[in-house]
Structure 1
Amino acid sequence: MRIGIAGWFGSDNLGDELLLHALMGSARAAAPAASFVVLCPEPARVTALHGVDAIHLPTLRAKGSANRQGVVTRALRGCDLLLLGPGTVFQERSPNLPWPGTLPMFARIVAMARLAGTPVAVAGAGVREGGTVAGRRLLRVIGAGCASVGVRDARSAGYFGRSARVIGDLAYTLALPDRPAVTGDRFAVSMRPLAPAVEGPLLAALSGATGALATDGWSGAFLPMAYGRGAQGEDDAVHARALPDLADAVANPLEGGGPFGPALDDWLRRLGAHRLVLGVRLHAVLLAVAMGVPTVAIAYERKVHDAFVDLGLERYVVGTGVDAGTLHRTARAAVDDADTFAVAAKRLAEQGAVAKAFVAGVVAG
């Protein structure tokens, strides 16, 4: 069986790469002999990380775009199934993406697949908020062209209509290593570049809260999540700008040259060795919870807030306008509330089973 996957992979964003890894793992569980071709911005990087075939997305404005259309068409003809996502692939605009964003391209990919006779499904994708009426209409068209639509959250499902199912984040399907023994009061901080008006006050709050934790006897480390190919201003730049006092950094699976899967397992064990995580990036906080680490999420976008509410952790998600004192108190409360996080980890695993069953059903179909 040949499966195509279209998404924002290869840009050295750890969240995107672990989602691709999780989706392929779920597909292989249903079809062990499956092979893959990934449509993405950086095919060579995807092949190096994941050991699968990869080609460029059929963008219209890039150099060699005409040739890309033909390559994608031929690839789709050789596929038994095309999966869109996972991740926030449906975007009209972002800090680095002008309108109309990715929606016309994904609508074109669906049309190309249908012409090739290849069924299409959405698998764990999300929709960035702030879209237009025209964008919402186009999302309905994309959904109508798919045999099945499984999205990350209820808000994204609303864009596609009643046929969409909420299956949760594909990261929930990852097979997790055992959590190592936790020694000492150590915390990790995940940060990402934000608009200056938002980032400045948040960095002041983070600096104040981590300083208070240090006064309490804790030691901290920075948690890198991206390395620069399409991920603007990370990771060294955001570390130096955001939290220079955190001299240590947790090794990132994207940094080495080995296979991604074992490197991800090692990263998860390193993450699980902390007693606390303060995180802006979605998959830093979700996987910390999955590993049983008390976590405070800082919701720079609604998807972070919604994910923590769905896991029953609404007390431990704060906005980007949080002050240092509140962040410190929330962090200490999280550490003292291990039972709530154990329940959330169980809920996360249950949702992962739902997502895995959805992928298995699509592959079998």
Structure 2
Amino acid sequence: MPLLQQVDALQLVLEALPLLRGGLTAKSARRTTELLQRRLQLDAAAVVDTEVVLAFQGIGSDHHLPGTPIATSLTRRALTEGRVLAAAGPEAIGCARPDCPLGAAMVLPLQVRGQVVGALKLYRRRRRHLGRARARAAEAVARLFSVYLELAELDVQAARVTQAELEALRAQISPHFLFNTLNTIAALTYADAARAHDLIVRFAEFFRDTLNHRGEFATLEDELAYVNAYLEFERARLGDRLRVDVDVAPECRRALLPVLVVQPLVENAINHGIEPRPGPGSVRIAARAEAEGYRIVVSDTGIGIPPERLGRVLERGYGTGLGMGLANVDQRLKSLFGLSSGLRIQSAVGEGTDVSFWVPARR
């Protein structure tokens, strides 16, 4: 696929994602089909749910009408099997209209938590082909769309849970991180389109992993794997300015922690320590045995926290985003393991910050 076409595919993602945060609706589908057709240079595009056409744009729109039942056998089979299907020729597509101009098709199911909820449909006119590169880009787009539909479902669920559960769900996905990563990908579409494409795919996988976190606890080994996936995007954004070291003994990796408590500390170290600092800086993740348990430390060589702020950073909502993440982690630790497990913060302006917590060993 030419460079310009790769850029168009990535711009499609960045333009369409905000539309899908409200779920798969006729309105979001209509705008999405317009973007699909224009950005992927298609002759027609459609979005369907599991029963009807939500939107259709391009050739064939005279008989593939929004609100009508799905007409093509290829689409019905893709929805049933839950996998991407492609076809060339009217018979393979399965439209009953003999004068249908659609000649090549790809149907990409959208899934939420393993359940098919709809599909994206890409079309070229007769005697034209979609091409491998366009198909690869479309599959990456569909994967990321599925993740965003899961986020929409998460929003609906959040309205039904208790306040404590709501805060835990919000703690899993940082808007600051989302904003920074999408900006990084947008910038790379022009400088390195192939790398931007790979980041889009990894971003979709990362968000899916985040949403699929289940249970209250995880091992430190699992938490470090999650942090490493997160750091892929921060390294893309900051490049050589960011160095990360991990110093964790094998026996400490079995420590059981509340799920998703290490990554917010690393994110805060990068955003509020390393990023404002001129030049490069480092973040260190360490763990050691301590008092029938384990102490986990995240330290940075960033700008540090002024003394007048240090006593307030664990207040919920204090400052420019620093308080919310740390306060959430602090309260979760204390509620599970007692006051002694809360966050300890040491900092010196111009030198950096250490944030640590203690968890008991498993019995």
Q: Which structure has more RCO (C-alpha within 8 Å, separation ≥ 6)?
A: 1
With the length of structure 2 as denominator, give the TM-score of the two structures: 0.23
Query: If you compute each CA radius of gyration, which structure gives the higher value, 1 or 2?
Result: 2
Structure number with higher strand proportion: 2
TM-score (norm 1): 0.23
